[in-house]
Amino acid sequence: MSFLKDTLSIFKKRELSFLECHKESENVYTFLFEKDSDITWKAGQHGLFNIIHRKIKNPTRPFTLAAAPSENIVRITIKIDENPSEFKYAMLELKQGMKISMSGPVGGFYLKENIPSLLIAGGIGITPFRSILKQLEEEGDSIRKPIHLLYMDSKKSFLFKEELDAIANHPSISVTYLDSRDGLYQEIEKFTSLYNNNSKYFIAGPISMVNSIASYLQNNGVLKRNIKKDVFYGYK
């Protein structure tokens, strides 16, 4: 059923008006677009974004919708290096009022049950969790089970830290910042010792990190069906 919904949503293409771009940290940029009243998504899903202001070889890329559905904006956050791809260069060309098209939303990387959940982010893999946690903050008292975010970044350039810290004031939400894999594994072990397979595990980040943590969880008794992966491939 989820696959069918994704297939149908891909054909829902809309043009979005660009509002502004700002730099989050070194080589990381957030792009904001107007949100029409008929656009909605589940926190953690992707959109398929298409460059339309000029012709490029590969005009479409998937990006997490980093804003919560309750926010009145479409937001994506992208890593752009010194020698960007044609797509990312075209993103940097956008001026207020210019258009980009979006298909979707797609993907099943979102909370479906009110059970304990461990969210594990690596680097820019924090983007789906910003959306998820902002939506949980909006829902407020409906959160009854603990939600714990582990955010690992070896460079300690934690994106959205002020927002995440504010959200963590909720009694059911906690955030731990980490800069080493050893520290991450220790925190995972604390959570699994409490909840094991009575919880869900969400992992987002570079493919090597996502796969290694998924294997670590499974080697420590977590069932594969309780693990959700959102891989950041580093699109050029």
Domain ranges of the chain: 2-106, 117-232
- CA-closest candidate to residue 222, choices 172, 188, 182: 188
For residues 119 and 162, what is the distance between their CA atoms, to the nearest angstrom?
A: 18
- What is the dihedral angle through the alpha carbons of 183, 187, 189, 195, rounded to the nearest 10 degrees? -170
CATH of segment(s) 2-106:
2.40.30.10
Tens of pLDDT along the chain (236 residues)? 454 454 456 667 899 999 999 999 989 999 999 998 888 999 999 999 999 999 999 999 999 999 999 999 999 999 999 899 999 999 999 999 999 999 989 999 999 988 999 999 999 999 999 999 999 998 876 777 899 999 999 999 999 999 999 999 988 999 999 999 999 999 999 999 999 999 999 999 999 999 999 999 999 999 999 999 997 654 44
Prior bond to 105 cis, omega within 30?
yes
Q: What is the pLDDT of residue 36?
A: 87
Q: 10 Å Cβ neighbour count for 115?
A: 15
Class of domain 117-232: alpha beta
For residues 153 and 175, what is the distance between their CA atoms, to the nearest angstrom?
A: 13
pTM for the structure as a whole: 0.92
Structure tokens at 153: 């970044």
Structure tokens at 134: 């902002």
- CA-closest candidate to residue 118, choices 151, 161, 149: 149
Q: What is the pLDDT of residue 1?
A: 47
Q: What is the pLDDT of residue 5?
A: 53
Q: Are 187 and 176 contacting, i.e. CB atoms less than 8 angstroms apart?
A: yes
- CA-closest candidate to residue 184, choices 111, 93, 119, 100: 119
Length of the chain: 236
Q: 10 Å Cβ neighbour count for 119?
A: 25
Q: What is the pLDDT of residue 4?
A: 46
Alpha helical stretches, state H, 146-234? 161-167, 181-195, 207-219
Phi-psi region of 44 (alpha: psi -120 to 50; beta: other; left: phi over 0): left
Structure tokens at 140: 């407020």
What Å distances lie between residue 207 and 129, 197, 210, CA to CA?
Answer: 17, 23, 5
- CA-closest candidate to residue 191, choices 155, 153, 147: 147
Q: What is the pLDDT of residue 195?
A: 95
